[in-house]
Structure 1
Amino acid sequence: MRRWILTVVLLNLSILIALVFVYPQLMVSPGPLRPAHAKLTTDCFACHSPFAGASAERCLSCHALKDIGLRTTAGIPLATREWPAFHQQLASARCMDCHAEHQNTTLGQVVAKPTFSHELLDDSVRSECKACHQPPETAVHANTALACSQCHGTSNWRPSLFDHRLLAQADLKHCAACHMPPTNDLHKGVGDTCGSCHQTAAWKPASFDHGRFFALEGVHDAPCATCHVNHRYDTYTCYGCHAHDPARVAQEHREEGITDTKNCVRCHRSAHGEAGAERERD
């Protein structure tokens, strides 16, 4: 009885093993091939060696390395190319490092695009970014003397590490040449003077020294809207509180021979009289 059961088990196992070799695409295939290789569906050994898996050598038996990205396997030049021809500069031919042929849709897996690592390129061409990539046509990239690697890594184009010290000294003062000026009320009328509040290391946090214009001390440490009506920070008025009556202020200044009382901070930088009169605004 036991010998009969063992015979049946061995017979079934033999049949399974035979089927693996006769119909491998049905028995062990992880999914259909990509459309370009659909004709190899029943010829697993075109890419695979028994018990060894796929090999780059078998890929190159059809795909000549010198023609990849330039010509078809039949030698016909490609009219359009989705990717630049870079395979010729690979340090070694390791096709499976980037390409996964089977599309395992039966298990619900998402078909991934080919992956690429710049580490696969030969050292002599790894820094020649323009050989494959089109340089961006933006103001910050206009300085062609800069190497891409000074800001960008090879794993991802973004985020990038940019140091403003790479720019020419004359360009450091013209932030709006690269950056879009903020359009909120706080920045209206400030012009190209970003450096008075912001640093090149980071846009935030920012620092603003109101004392350069007028010291906010005592009762003058008031809400912004008291002096900047409607939140217009490019203009101000000193007549936003009851302490400064326009008629009285005008009369006091006429006695001193002063007729222009609109630009108060030209002489008054604080509540302490004319202590800042002799200082010019930066």
Structure 2
Amino acid sequence: MRRWTVVLVVSAGLGLGFLLERKPIAIDAPLFQRQVSPGPLSVSHAWLEGNCAACHTALQSAEAAKCIGCHATDINLLQRQPTAFHAAIGACSRCHVEHQGSSPRPVAMDHATLADIRLEAVREDRDDPSNRRLLAWIDQHDVAAEIAPTHPKVTSEEAALDCAACHSTKDRHQGYFGGDCAACHGTSSWTIEEFRHPSPSSVECVQCHQAPPSHFMMHFEMVSKRVAGEHDARVDQCFECHQTTSWNDIRRAGWYKHH
């Protein structure tokens, strides 16, 4: 019995000595980062490769606050109407996905995601009367959509988006068709497959189309008329040269882009 006691005491002493003498194990940070990284960064962020803390805190996904820290002063992003909406999003990684390598651009324009982000903010502030009205409208239209879709190409959530907030500078209708973009357009594509111009013999082009600046200069006299072979055409007589299939489909000349 005494012998086993001595053995246990000696073993305990050796173990204690090992613990006291053991030095901390140094972690090779770059190696560790390479092992846990899901993949290389995009070209724009390649200079941050290996600097996880630039976007992440420990054991967390990328934080919007760190994205904003770099991009909040990006004038080209925040002062142009098509992209100014980024200032109010605050959920960068929902659309901008990283660690997919240098080939794909880390952007996926997903209107459904934008609607979800917006609705999350609305639901968090139900005290706002306008937010309550919006949620009630969506609930009503979700039920109605099961019977007869108001806008077949968009969801009720997407229909709540303000299209003009981003696209008014691209509105070729110049406001003549109203603000209900979803009555014709969908969120997956800007073009409308079902769209048909008025009759090819229509002469009311100027109701919707405006001639480019070149048509009000000598370019119209020296080039445009000659290409179409219409030497007596006026600027407001679009139909004399242009086809309804495409703005660049010129009668008797075919596809010709010269503006």
Q: TM-score by structure 2 length?
A: 0.40
Larger Rg: 1
Q: TM-score by structure 1 length?
A: 0.37
* Higher RCO (C-alpha 8 Å, min separation 6): 2
